[in-house]
Structure 1
Amino acid sequence: MSGMRHNGPIALMFHALVVGFVLAPLVVICLVAFTPANTLTLPTAQFSLRWFTAVFAHPDFVASFVNSLWVAAIAATIAVVLAVAAGLALDRYDFRGRAALNALFLSPLMIPHLVLGVALLRLFALLGATGSFLWLTAGHIVVVTPYVLRLVLAALSGLDRSAEQAAVTLGASSWIVFRRITVPMILPGISGGWLLAFINSFDELTMSIFITSPATVTLPVRMYMYATESIDPMMAAVSALMIAVTAVAMLLLDRIFGLDKILIGQG
C-alpha cells in the first residue's frame, strides 16, 4: 500500500510523459523510414520498403554495416577476456595498486569520447598506425571494456565460492576450477557484458570519427558523413535498422542477465 501511495496518478503521469518524450523520436524515425516519398514527411498516405531496399543496394552502407559488426564483435570478445582477468584480480586479491588498476580500467567512462578520440588519433599517428582496422578495434576495446568489467565484478561479488573450494579440496587444478565452475557461475555477467559491449561499440560515433579511415568506416560514421551531404528517408531507414539491432541485443541482454541487475551493477 505504501508503494501505491508513492506512485500515485501524478507520478505515473510524469513517468509516462518521460517515457513518451524519450521514445517519440525513435517512433517518428521508424515511421518515416517506411515512407515512399523523397522527403522526410509525416504523416504518410502509404507504407513502402523503398528506402530499406535502397540501403541494402548502397555499397558504402553495406560495407560500413559489415565493418561495424566485425569491430563490435571482436572488441566485445577481447573486452570480455580482459574484463574477466581483471575482475578476478580486483575481486579476489588485495595488492598494491589495486585501486589504481580499477580506476585505470574504468577511466574511459569518465573521459569524454571527443577527448578520447583526439588522444587516440595522436597516439596512433605517433605509432604510424592510423587507418588500420586493428587500431580502430583497439580504440573500441578501450571504450567498451569498462562496461564488461562492471558486470563481471557484479557477478563475482555475489558468487558463492564454496563450490570452488570443494573442487580444490577434491584435487581439481586451478584451470579446471576456473573453466568448469567459475565461468559457468558468472556466465550471465559475461554474456550480458559481451552484449552491452557489442551495443556500445556498434553505436559508437564520436570516438570513431577520429580514428577511422576510408577503408574502415563504421556505420554510425557513414551515417554522419551522409547526413552532412543530404538528408532523405534513407537516413531514417538506416537509423531504423540500427534501432532494431540495438533493440534485439537489449532484449537478449534482458533475457540473459536482466536489465535491473545491470542497472544495479552499473550503480
Structure 2
Amino acid sequence: MMTLSERIGRFLLVALVWAGLAFLALPLIIIVAISFTETEYLTFPPVGFTLRWYERFLADTSYLDSIGLSASLAFASTAIAVLIGVPVALAITRSSLPGMRIVNTIFLAPLILPTIVIGAALLQYASMLGFARSYTALLVGHVVIVVPYILRTVLASLARFDRTLEEAALDLGASGFSTFFLVTLPIIKPGLVAGALFALIISWINVELSIFNTTAALMPIPVKLFNYVQYAIDPMVAAISAATIYVAIVAVVLLDVFVGIDRVAASQK
C-alpha cells in the first residue's frame, strides 16, 4: 500500500505530465479553432463558424502547388535519405576500417550546423554547378538535413542488434541480400520508420534552407506562408496551418496502425 508521500509524488508526476501535454497541445487547438472564425483577423476564441478560409485556401492553386512541392520534397528526400542512411549506419557499426567515427561525425554535422548556413552554402555550390534555384537544389539540401535523422535512429536500432540472427540465416543458405531483407530490415524497421517520420517532418517544415533556392514558381508551403505573413495576417494562415496539423495526425495514426508507436518508441530506448 502506498504511503501518503508516494501518493502525493504520484499525483504531482501525473499533474506534471498532463500540464506538459496541455502546453504542447494548446497552441495546436488554438490554431485549429481560429481557422473557423468568421472575422477577417486572427482572434481567439473564434467568432462564429465558417469554412470560408479553407475554401479560399483550396481555391488558390498556388498554395496547392506549394503543398504538392513540399510533399514531393519531403517524400523524395526521405526516400533518398533512407537509401543513404541505412548503408552508412551498417558500415559505421560493423566495419573494422579506421575512420568510421569521422564518417559518423560528417553525416551528423547537419544537426549541429545552423540550417541557414547550409542553405547559403548550398546556394553557392549550386550556382557554381549551374543548378541553383531549382528542384534539384532544393532536393539536395533537404537530403542533407534529413539524413542525420535516419542515421541516428537506425544506429540506435543496430546498437542492440543480435548478429547471431544474421549468421544463422547465412548458415542456412540465405544470401546476403535475402538476409538483409528477411532478417535485418524487419528488426531495424521501427527505428527506420521513426527516422523516416522525423525526416518527413523536418523536410516539410523547413524554411531556412529552402528560402535560398526558391523562385516565384518553385516555393514550398513553409516559405510561401513565411512570405505571406509579412504582408497579411488573416485566418487563412490558420486554415493552412490547421491543414498541416490534420495531415500530421493522419500520419501518426497510420504509424500506430502499421508499425505501432510503442514499438517505435521502444526502438529508441
Same fold (TM over 0.5): yes
Residues 100 and 230 (structure 1 numbering): CA distance in 2 closer, same or farther, change over 3 Å? same
Q: Aligned to 1:141, which of 134, 140, 143?
A: 143
The residue type paired with residue 186 of structure 2 is P
Please say which of residues 130-139 and 35-44 is displaced more in the overlay: 35-44
User: What CA distance in whole angstroms lies between the structure 2 residues aligned with 1:262 and 1:150?
Assistant: 14
User: What CA distance in whole angstroms lies between the structure 1 residues aligned with 2:43 and 2:249?
Assistant: 24
Deviations 1:179-218 (A, max 9, x none): 2222222222222222221111111112111122223210
Q: Is the 8 A contact 1:121 1:130 kept in 2?
A: yes
Poorly superposed stretches of 4+, deviation over 6 Å: none
User: What CA distance in whole angstroms lies between the structure 2 residues aligned with 1:157 and 1:203?
Assistant: 30
1:129-208 alignment, distance < 5 Å? 129-208=131-210
Q: Aligned to 1:258, which of 256, 261, 264?
A: 261
The residue type paired with residue 53 of structure 2 is W
Deviation at 1:132, TM superposition (A): 1.2
User: What CA distance in whole angstroms lies between the structure 2 residues aligned with 1:34 and 1:120?
Assistant: 39
Residues 177 and 107 (structure 1 numbering): CA distance in 2 closer, same or farther, change over 3 Å? same
Please say which of residues 137-146 and 206-215 is displaced more in the overlay: 206-215
- Count of residues paired in the alignment: 266
Match of residue 22 from structure 1? 24
Q: Aligned to 2:127, which of 110, 125, 128?
A: 125
Q: Aligned to 1:212, which of 204, 211, 214?
A: 214
The residue type paired with residue 65 of structure 1 is I
Please say which of residues 96-105 and 244-253 is displaced more in the overlay: 244-253
Please say which of residues 203-212 and 186-195 is displaced more in the overlay: 186-195
User: What CA distance in whole angstroms lies between the structure 2 residues aligned with 1:6 and 1:109?
Assistant: 40
Please say which of residues 249-258 and 66-75 is displaced more in the overlay: 249-258
Residues 66 and 171 (structure 1 numbering): CA distance in 2 closer, same or farther, change over 3 Å? same
Aligned identity (percent) is 36
User: What CA distance in whole angstroms lies between the structure 2 residues aligned with 1:67 and 1:76?
Assistant: 14
Deviation at 1:108, TM superposition (A): 0.6
Please say which of residues 206-215 and 129-138 is displaced more in the overlay: 206-215
Deviations 1:11-43 (A, max 9, x none): 444444443333322221110001122111223
Q: Is the 8 A contact 1:136 1:211 kept in 2?
A: yes
Deviation at 1:10, TM superposition (A): 4.2
1:66-145 alignment, distance < 5 Å? 66-145=68-147
User: What CA distance in whole angstroms lies between the structure 1 residues aligned with 2:144 and 2:262?
Assistant: 23
Match of residue 251 from structure 2? 249
Deviations 1:80-131 (A, max 9, x none): 1111110110111121110000011111111111222112122112222111
Please say which of residues 133-142 and 156-165 is displaced more in the overlay: 156-165
Deviation at 1:6, TM superposition (A): 8.1
Q: Is the 8 A contact 2:42 2:235 kept in 1?
A: yes
Tell me, what secondary structure is at the counterpart of 2:77? helix
User: What CA distance in whole angstroms lies between the structure 1 residues aligned with 2:6 and 2:123?
Assistant: 53
Tell me, what secondary structure is at the counterpart of 1:206? coil
Residues 104 and 184 (structure 1 numbering): CA distance in 2 closer, same or farther, change over 3 Å? same
The residue type paired with residue 78 of structure 2 is A
Q: Is the 8 A contact 2:41 2:235 kept in 1?
A: yes
Please say which of residues 198-207 and 244-253 is displaced more in the overlay: 244-253
Q: TM-score, normalised by structure 2?
A: 0.89
Deviation at 1:5, TM superposition (A): 5.8
User: What CA distance in whole angstroms lies between the structure 1 residues aligned with 2:13 and 2:164?
Assistant: 44
The residue type paired with residue 39 of structure 1 is Y
Over the aligned positions, Cα root-mean-square deviation in angstroms equals 2.3
